[in-house]
Amino acid sequence: MTGLIAIGAAMAVMTGVGAGIGIGIATSKATEAIARQPEAKGDINKALLLGCALAEATAIYGFVVAVLIVLFLK
Amino acid sequence: MEDFATELMSELENKISFIIPIFGGIPVPTAVVATWGIMAFLMILTLIFVRNLKMVPKGPQIYVEALVGFINNFFGEILGEEGKRYIPYLGTVLIYIACANLAGLVGVTPPTKDLNITAGLAFMSIILIEYSGIHEKGGKGWLKSFVQPMAILAPINILELFIRPLSLCMRLFGNVLGAFVIMEMIKIVIPAVIPVPFSFYFDIFDGLIQAYVFVFLTSLFMKEKMEEYK
């Protein structure tokens, strides 16, 4: 049973894959944008940070679910 | 794994520091005591730094003015002229969350690891967001904003009332909790030296970024509520 719980928690943490890919793409595009237009750096940084915060939220939800699985299923 | 789970569970519990012996005893959680500590700390700093203010800044006054200028600029750019009145609140929350996340460095359990604290902050944020909308457009305009851009989106707009504070609250809590759990795991595997750089990342960098993101999102939502739909 413990093994199954561990597998369940691991699957919940897989949400991190999506967040990682999303933040990676966002950052690469932001770098391109800054290289093309360095004077718009401030605005690009703000948009990037907002996007990263929203993308990261999915990973956080997955993590919270995984912790809850580990703690409350015994 | 069983041991680790029980250990985590005991760390996650919101411990009670002491009980106020009136009305049959009011329990005071550790997070509240830590918050009082942060309030006292900020209050003392304020009292020290606002003494002998001069027209031409000198010494520590330069740093204080730089901080206030940064906060005013940052929120002023997002909120615009009509949102200037909310800057002091947002700045206070920014400073409080930053201090709370950094409290782990001096050995105090960060208050933001308690879900009740982050839920309270998120609740205040959503009230401020809706209030700013009502103040700017009036009650009728605020109600009308729920059926914009079209009436069919009304359920989603109403759901947003609950989703926004929930995601603000869970984002802050989850990040602080995640950093905490990972640090505990690293300390179990390698107790010396290696945790230090990780602590720099998780405690300092992540804590400050999260404080920034929390107020940034709050002010963005406020701006969205305040501006007329075109």
A21-42 burial: b if 16+ Cβ within 10 Å, else e: ebbeebeeebeebeeeeeeeee
**Contacts with B223 (C-beta within 8 Å, 6 or more apart), sequence order:** B78, B79, B80, B83
pLDDT of residue B40: 93
pLDDT digits (tens, 9 = 90+) for B175-189: 888 888 778 778 777
Q: Is B218 a residue whose pLDDT tops 60?
A: yes
Mean pLDDT of all residues in chain B?
Answer: 83
Q: pTM value? A: 0.83
- Using a CB-CB cut-off of 8 Å, the residues of chain B touching A68 are none
Q: Is B230 a residue whose pLDDT tops 60?
A: no
- Using a CB-CB cut-off of 8 Å, the residues of chain B touching A74 are 2, 5
Q: Is B14 a residue whose pLDDT tops 70?
A: no
Q: Is B91 a residue whose pLDDT tops 60?
A: yes
- Using a CB-CB cut-off of 8 Å, the residues of chain B touching A57 are 167, 170-171
Interface predicted TM-score of the whole assembly (ipTM), two decimals: 0.71
Question: What percentage of chain B exceeds 70 in pLDDT?
Answer: 94
The CATH number for A31's domain is 1.20.20.10
User: Most confidently modeled of A28-42, B25-39, B163-177?
Assistant: A28-42
Q: Is B12 a residue whose pLDDT tops 80?
A: no
**Contacts with B168 (C-beta within 8 Å, 6 or more apart), sequence order:** B118, B121, B122, B125, B126, B214, B217, B218
Structural domain total, chain A: 1
Q: How many CA atoms lie within 13 A of B89 on its CB side?
A: 15
C-alpha–C-alpha distance, residues B134 and B112, integer Å: 29
Q: Is B137 a residue whose pLDDT tops 70?
A: yes
C-alpha–C-alpha distance, residues B205 and B105, integer Å: 12
Q: Is B42 a residue whose pLDDT tops 80?
A: yes
pLDDT of residue A3: 85
Alpha helices in B104-153 (DSSP H): 115-144
Query: Greater confidence, A33 or B10?
Result: A33
Task: Count each helix (H run) and each strand (E run) in chain A, helices first.
Answer: 3, 0
The one-letter amino acid code at B25 reads G
Can you say whether the dihedral through the CA atoms of B20, B24, B29, B32 is positive or negative? Answer: negative
pLDDT of residue A27: 93
Of B5, B174, B177, the CB nearest to A70: B5
- β pairing state of B16-20 and B26-29: antiparallel
Please give the residue range of the domain that contains residue A54: 2-72
Q: Which two tokens stand for residue A11?
A: 């699957």
Q: Where are the domains of chain B?
A: 39-226
Q: How confident is the model at residue B127 (pLDDT cuts 50, 70, 90)?
A: very high
With CA atoms as reference, the chain B residue closest to A49 would be B213
